[in-house]
Structure 1
Amino acid sequence: MSHPRNDTPSIFWKTTPIGYGYSNRKSEPFVASGFYYRHQWGVSEQDRAGDLPDLGPYLVTNKHVVQPSDYPQPDSVIAYTRNPGKVQETTRHHIDLYRSDGEPKWRDHPENENIDIVLIPLSFEIRETAMFHRANIVSEPSSVSGGDLAEVVGYPAEMRNFHRLPILRQALISSSYQVSFYDSPYFVIDARLHDGMSGSPVVYAPSIVDIEVEEQEVDPDWDTVEPFRVEGTTERKHTSLLGVHSGERLEFDDEISMEDIESDLLSRDSNPGLKDFLSELEDRLENIERETGINRVWHAKYIDEIIRNH
């Protein structure tokens, strides 16, 4: 059997599928995505002036991944690291979600509990090249704009790659990156994503074209004059971390939820089939929303804020 090349792009080394571990039931091997992060690179003067934050390493994913509504609450999450020099070989890790006193180990945003990002401190070491760092977070938001292309790197639940390598999906940045969407701390992308991609890093790696222009000698007898030869070579720039994809549905403060509709209708109608009908209707609406391809991405800058304030 042939194996992936060991010179696979570094983004493949930085991500992991996430599963759930339980003390009293069978584990769930693939439910979400995540990536590894260390705060160390790009430490600023602001850091040096005070106490350094806990630099990591961390596993980054969504808050709704560690507090699932559609699975029993897990005791741990399952993640993988790739062995040095062999991208097809992985080491499995069980990462406890709770301390001995029952308090959660993960860290979320101290001021906005709605930000769907958590960082889980890790007790094992990870190679620097297999993590994102603070220097990877976009430093000039104005360099990214709506209409630019990005990539979502994660693990669709139905795509269980033998080597646990991620799937890359191209996405269009569909709202302003600099301005919060609907006055919320995220932007939106247009991409066909699937269950299991929650917690995926969204990255920006624009390609640049290096153009060389060479003047040519012109034969006066030619009918067509082409005095220049133009050649172009394309290369990818440094990969920047834009944010963390969340598979949770978009919600707005003034919208009426299906729970509100269900509660109102059931209070007025005791028909035993009504609840099943409403449940089926909700599933259909969720499928329609998923098919629109509009997805939420929480800004990567909140990773830094979580680390600084814990």
Structure 2
Amino acid sequence: MNSTVKTPAQPPATDGKTEVKSTAPRPVAVDPLFLAAPQVSTFVATQPLTNASGFFFERDERLYLVTSRHVLIDEATDHRPDRIEIGLHVDATNLTLATGFSVPLYDDGVAVWHQGKDSGGEIDVAVIELDREAFPDDAVVRAFTPAHLQTAFNAVPADSALMVVGFPLGFHDVVHHLPVLRHAAIASPFGIRFQSQGFFLTDARTHRGTSGAAVVMRDTQPTPETTALPWKLMGVHSSRMDMGNRDLVQDESLGLNCAWYADILLTLTED
């Protein structure tokens, strides 16, 4: 058998100076939507419990985390964490740099989050005000504002394409600490409370861990207030909806989900 010996390539001729290549990370162009949706992990002291989704909402210079109420407390399953941890990027260029930020859920035994109800009952949305002063100095945060809320219900056609940004089963880009997007369609008329509840239906493939995710639609005509985050905030994903009498052998799951109308945030973040 003949073998071929390859001669190492010769370095290019220089003028005697050593060329030093920069190791600085290249700027990464990422849609700001990915930086508006941190992962949410629940704990009792140091004991991890569950993973969920959430997003940032800013109003009157106050910053909030939005997620599902049942992420913070769920009496039916006796889920009672005492703190959560959210992921924060600390470098806008190098997305591999991130840290966890712990948020207590109780102050002297009193819950610190806000939740609401309406004529239809409890609303599965909760907000927690965050102490931005306690964030790392280089924390990278993109937040929705009241200007992002889709309040013109008749301006959303039935065939509008939606996205759900979150952490299904905790799955995400563990190197860059970024959520994933799932396509969704509107499954009930937007603006009409499904069965008199404060939510509409989406048709999307979702999993545990997506609770609290933002349901959004691309903003094709952003204003100066929304240009930095050109997405319309439509709702807050809560849970899957199914038929209670479905034959588990013969019938597939409906594949439908509840998304609470995002305008509830105006009530929950009132001063």
Q: TM-score range by the shorter chain?
A: 0.7 to 0.9
TM-score of the pair, normalised by structure 2: 0.76
- Of 83, 86, 89 in structure 1, the residue corresponding to residue 90 of structure 2 is 83
CA distance in 1, matches of 2:242, 2:26: 37
Aligned 8 A contact 1:21 1:94 in 2: no
Matched, 1:35 2:41: no
**2:239 is equivalent to residue 247 of structure 1:** yes
Alignment check: 8 A CA contact 1:185 1:298 kept:
yes
Structure 1 pair 64/248, CA: closer, same or farther in 2 (3 Å)?
farther
Note the 1:223-242 alignment, pairs <5 A: 238-242=230-234
- Residue matched to 1:66: 72
Following superposition, the deviation at residue 88 of structure 1 comes to 2.7
Q: What is the CA-CA distance between 1:158 and the residue it aligns to?
A: 5.0
Q: Distance in 2 between matches of 1:96 and 1:307?
A: 18
2:154 to 117, 142, 149: 142
Deviation at 1:70, TM superposition (A): 4.0
Change over 3 Å in CA distance of 1:70–1:18 after alignment to 2: farther
**In structure 1, what is the Cα distance between the partners aligned to 2:143 and 2:203?**
26
Q: 1:205 aligns with which of 218, 226, 236?
A: 218
CA–CA distance in 2 between the matches of 1:169 and 1:4?
27
Aligned CA distance change for structure 1 residues 4 and 150 (closer, same or farther; 3 Å): farther
Letter matched to residue 247 of structure 1 = S
1:301 to 1:72, Cα distance in 2 relative to 1, 3 A: closer
Unaligned runs of 5+ residues in structure 2 are 1-24, 222-228
| Alignment root-mean-square deviation, CA | 3.0
- The whole-number CA distance in structure 1 between the counterparts of 2:78 and 2:177 is 22
Change (3 A) 1:5 1:193: farther
**Equivalent residue number for residue 213 of structure 1:** none
Residues 250 and 39 from structure 1, CA distance in 2 versus in 1: closer, same or farther, beyond 3 angstroms? farther
Q: Distance in 2 between matches of 1:13 and 1:201?
A: 12
Query: In the TM superposition, what is the alpha-carbon distance from 1:4 to its structure 2 partner?
Result: 9.4
Seen in structure 2, the aligned counterparts of structure 1 residues 26 and 156 have a Cα distance that, compared at 3 Å, is same
CA distance in 1, matches of 2:40, 2:161: 26
Does structure 2 retain, via aligned residues, the 8 Å contact 1:18–1:32?
A: yes
Letter aligned with residue 206 of structure 2? L
Residue 74 (structure 1) shift: 0.7
Report the structure, 1 or 2, having the larger helix content. Answer: 1
Match of 2:166 among 154, 162, 171: 154
| Cα distance in structure 2, aligned partners of 1:296 and 1:131 | 23
Q: Give the 3 Å change call, closer, same or farther, for CA 5–151 of structure 1 in structure 2.
A: farther
Give the counterpart of 1:26 among 42, 47, 68: 47
Conserved? CA contact 2:206–2:240, under 8 Å: no
**Matched-pair contact (CA < 8 Å) for 1:145–1:178:** no
Q: Deviations over 1:229-264 (max 9, x none)?
A: xxxxxxxx931000100025469xxxxx79xxxxxx
2:163 maps to amino acid: E
Matched with 2:184 is 171
Out of 111, 124, 127, which is 1:104 matched to? Answer: 111
CA distance in 2, matches of 1:37, 1:241: 10
Structure 1 pair 4/203, CA: closer, same or farther in 2 (3 Å)? Answer: farther
User: What SS is found at the alignment partner of 2:265?
Assistant: helix
> Which residue of 2 is the match for residue 302 of structure 1?
264
**Aligned equivalents of 1:292, 1:7: Cα separation in 2:** 37
Q: Distance in 1 between matches of 2:154 and 2:26?
A: 36
The alpha-carbon deviation at position 17 of structure 1 amounts to 1.2
Tell me how many residue pairs correspond in the alignment.
Answer: 233
Q: Secondary structure at the match of 1:132?
A: coil
Q: 1:174 to 1:14 in 2, by over 3 A?
A: same
Q: Which residue of 1 aligns with 2:8?
A: none
Q: TM-score, normalised by structure 1?
A: 0.67
**Other-structure match for 2:5:** none
- 2:159/2:186 contact within 8 Å kept: yes
User: Conserved in 1, the CA contact under 8 Å of 2:162 and 2:217?
Assistant: yes
Distance 1:123 1:202, change over 3 A: same
For residues 150-194 of structure 1, give each alpha carbon's deviation from its aligned partner in whole angstroms, at most 9, with x where no partner exists. Answer: 000000115243132111001011111121111111110100111
1:254 aligns to what? none
Post-superposition offset of 1:96: 0.5
The 10-residue stretch of structure 1 (196-205 or 112-121) with the greater mean CA deviation from structure 2: 112-121
